[in-house]
């Protein structure tokens, strides 16, 4: 009886809303918004059931009729960068949205290292002066910021609250530092308006950022939805893992199908305890976002976990493998910007800069090197292990002295610190106690001490040739 009353109340509320509803666009369509250039633009919102809604923008007019649930959507033809423009939305009422720009739109998401705000840089000795100085200069009316409220819900939502704001010292202070630096550098490179949508929650694993449907459809991941009870005893009724899919439901699903160029991502620390699962989970999450957005394989650029005493090399390997098997992605390596005792390294500017570099290459087709050296092939013989690499970036470099960070092993898999040297475009690794090497590892530690770069100034990713 109680459930029936709730249904009646819900139906009454929906009917009452429709009676007095005014046409209203989704929150992403507010004054100051940035719309993606060069693609068809979906525009949607709510109105009274059966209400005719007309959207006018840059000489285009599109019309839709709200469905019985009060939802409407139109699609505008692709348009070029510029602004400011005005959008008029007409139904039984009329809304005029001013100061809209057309340019490049990126989603900035992940856990605490992406969430880490510009204002917090002042709290660290390293980078504090830089952060405060950059905030003073963070005034760019064509860099626009939108922050999605932090929340999780059990089922996908269609609506979100928030508003666009021009980048100022005040608005940037509480925005993602990595996101800000990425957007700033992208603005400099492209010279068009840039919109950043920040959707981050610290301390969260990737299974919170993927849909229930994607988890259920991916072999090996469905178990995340209904985990076995603690102690192996009988179940006392099904109970989904706390928080699984909830951030996707509340913070990502409501953004779809807003037209975007791509996404930047900094997360993985909270999946450190299960890196093997992350090899499947992370690519599945990327596929989920792309499938649900309906824009194809949009660029997805992510940051490899920084050196830290609690972060294993296996989680970095999981990210490397995810990059190598997922098209239209790039991985930013930051082995030179970690902090053994601080899970939140203060150097956010180079992270944003390297993400912007990757965007210029992957998303915008610039013929530039965007990655440090990546292991390609191992050849052994005469007591030597010879490594070849991709992403040479003009040539290999040992930054700051002799090459370090390599270990070598024979058939017994006992790894010892090795001598390593650059010879032409290869690295030769050897050790007197390993006359017949079979495997080499580089940077294989929680806090790797490494210095292999390319001439483009980008560090090599840690790796092992004996991938299990």
Cα dihedral 223→227→231→235 (10° resolution): -120
Evaluate if residue 233 carries a pLDDT over 70.
no
CA angle at 151 for the pair 156 and 257, rounded to the nearest 5° = 40
Give residue-wise pLDDT tens across range 291-336: 999 999 999 999 999 999 999 999 999 999 999 999 999 999 999 9
The overall longest dimension of the chain from CA atoms, in Å, is: 84
Following DSSP, what letter does each residue of 98-116 receive, concatenated?
Answer: EEEEEEEEEEEEESHHHH-
pLDDT at 131: 75
Quote the CA–CA distance of 353 and 180 in Å, as a whole number. 10
pLDDT for the residue numbered 238: 37
Model confidence, pTM: 0.92
CA 368 to CA 362: how far, in whole Å?
10
Rounded to whole angstroms, the Cα distance separating 218 from 241 reads: 17
Is 164's pLDDT higher than 50?
yes
What are the C-alpha distances in Å from 401 to residues 310, 359, 452, 459? 27, 31, 10, 14
Q: Are 81 and 193 within 8 A, CB to CB?
A: yes
**CB-based contact 21:90 (threshold 8 Å):** no
Phi then psi for residue 205, to 5 deg, are -85, 165
Q: Answer whether 108's CB lies under 8 Å from 197's CB.
A: yes
Residue with tokens 């902090």: 339
How far is the C-alpha of 335 from the C-alpha of 316, rounded, in Å?
Answer: 10
Q: Residue 301 pairs with which residues in a beta bridge?
A: 264, 330
Q: Is the pLDDT of residue 8 over 60?
A: no
Closest CA to 187 of 364, 21, 369, 449: 364
Residue 122: per-residue pLDDT: 61
Mean of the per-residue pLDDT values for the chain?
A: 92
Name 203's Cβ contacts closer than 8 Å, sequence gap at least 6.
111, 112, 270
Structural domains present in the chain = 1-226+239-370 (3.40.50.1110), 374-464 (no CATH)
Cβ distance 285 to 300 under 8 Å?
no
Tell me what percent of the chain is helix, strand and coil, each rounded to the nearest 5: 30, 30, 45
pLDDT value for 242: 56
């Amino acid at each position: 009886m109680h459930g029936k009353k709730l249904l009646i109340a819900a139906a009454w509320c929906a009917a009452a809303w429709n009676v007095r509803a005014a046409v209203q666009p989704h929150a992403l369509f507010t004054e100051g918004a940035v719309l993606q250039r060069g693609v068809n633009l979906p525009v949607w919102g709510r109105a009274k059931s059966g209400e005719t809604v007309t959207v006018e923008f840059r000489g285009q007019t599109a019309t839709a009729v709200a469905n019985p649930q009060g939802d409407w959507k139109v699609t505008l033809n692709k348009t070029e960068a510029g602004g400011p423009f005005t959008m008029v939305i007409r139904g039984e009422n009329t809304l005029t949205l001013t100061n809209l720009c057309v340019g490049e739109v990126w989603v900035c998401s992940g856990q605490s290292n992406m969430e880490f705000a510009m204002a917090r840089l002042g709290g660290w000795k390293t980078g504090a002066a830089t952060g405060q100085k950059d905030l003073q200069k963070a005034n760019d009316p064509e860099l626009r910021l939108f922050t999605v409220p932090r929340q999780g819900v059990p089922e996908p939502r269609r609506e979100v609250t928030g508003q666009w704001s021009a980048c100022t010292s005040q608005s940037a202070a509480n925005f993602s530092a990595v996101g800000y630096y990425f957007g700033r550098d992208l603005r400099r490179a492209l010279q068009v308006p840039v919109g950043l949508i920040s959707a981050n929650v610290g301390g969260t694993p990737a299974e919170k950022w993927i849909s229930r449907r994607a988890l259920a459809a991916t072999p090996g991941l469905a178990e995340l939805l209904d985990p076995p009870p603690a102690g192996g005893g009988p179940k006392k009724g099904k109970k989904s893992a706390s928080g699984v899919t909830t951030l996707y439901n509340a913070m990502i699903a409501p953004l779809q199908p807003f037209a975007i160029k791509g996404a930047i991502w900094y997360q993985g620390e909270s999946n450190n305890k299960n890196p093997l699962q992350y090899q499947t989970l992370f690519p599945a999450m990327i596929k989920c976002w792309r499938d649900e957005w309906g824009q194809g394989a949009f660029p997805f650029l992510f940051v490899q976990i920084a050196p830290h005493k609690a972060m294993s090399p296996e989680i970095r390997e999981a990210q490397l493998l995810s990059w190598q098997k997922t098209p239209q992605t790039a991985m930013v390596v930051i082995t030179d910007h970690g902090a053994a005792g601080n899970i939140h390294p203060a150097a956010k500017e180079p992270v944003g800069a390297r993400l912007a570099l990757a965007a210029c290459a992957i998303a915008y087709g610039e013929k530039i090197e965007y990655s440090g050296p990546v292991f390609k092939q191992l050849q052994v013989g005469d007591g030597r292990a010879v490594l070849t690499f991709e992403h040479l970036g003009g040539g290999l470099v040992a930054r700051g002295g002799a090459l370090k960070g390599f270990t070598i092993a024979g058939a017994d898999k006992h790894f010892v610190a090795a001598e390593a040297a650059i010879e032409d475009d290869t690295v030769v690794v050897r050790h007197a106690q390993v006359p017949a090497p079979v495997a080499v590892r580089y940077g294989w530690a929680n806090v790797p001490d490494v210095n292999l770069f390319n001439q483009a100034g980008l560090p090599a990713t840690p790796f092992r040739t004996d991938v299990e």
